[in-house]
Amino acid sequence: YVERREAWWRGESSGTHTAVSGPGSRAELTLPFREFLLGWLRDRQVRSLVEASSGHWPTGWQAATSWPPLTYVGLDILPTIIDDNNEFVARNGSRGLQSVRFATANMIEEALPLADVLLTKDTLIHWPSWAITRFLRRNVMVCPPRYEHILFVHDDARGHNAELQDFAGFRPLDLGAAPFHLPTERLFEWGPV
């Protein structure tokens, strides 16, 4: 992300065609997801959402989204991404959100803020299983629940979870399968445009 962000700052990337957070964040590729998400949030009258990780708003799908009036907290581990996001919102407004706040967080070690919804998109697919398990134990598998709804958005492995040795890779993920065994429900699917 650091190299893509530096290229973006130098003006070497082309807006919506190159997302600093990666190709899964490109606005034109996420249109079906964005339409689903906005309808889903409105149908449930969601008032607050935590996104972990928020990714790079200036070049990502969030900037192309007309959000409902809810309280949004976006978390990311990279302070430079948080700085870019804060500057983007300061210059371009909150995109319809009632309030928006970005913060740096270690999502594996820290409990995330409370909200109606926890959204994690294309984040856990880059983590080894031990890190995902720690994140889930700290934020998802807790009593009392921290969130009314939790949305995991990522490439799906359908029952098979390959292992990553570090945070540098990528793998499809099925949180309903071993070693996670979460009671998941598939709400929406979309493929390449």
Q: Indicate the pairing of strand 99-104 with strand 149-153.
A: unpaired
Cα gap 54→64, rounded to integer Å:
14
Residue 4 has pLDDT above 80, yes or no: no
**One-letter amino acid for residue 143 of the chain:** C
Q: Supply the pLDDT for residue 41.
A: 98
Query: pLDDT (tens digit, 9 = 90+) per residue, 83-108?
Result: 999 999 999 999 999 999 999 999 99
Residues 6+ away with beta carbon under 8 Å from 54: 62, 74, 75, 76, 81, 82, 85, 102
| Interatomic CA distance for residues 83 and 89, integer angstroms | 10
Is 157 a residue whose pLDDT tops 80?
no
Q: How big is the CA angle at 90 (ends 68 and 16), to the nearest 5 degrees?
A: 70
DSSP character string of 108-162: TTSPPPP-SEEEEESSGGGS-HHHHHHHHHHHTS-SS-S-SEEEEES---SS---
CA dist., res. 1 & res. 22, Å (int): 8
Least confident piece of the model among 12-16, 21-25, 108-112: 12-16
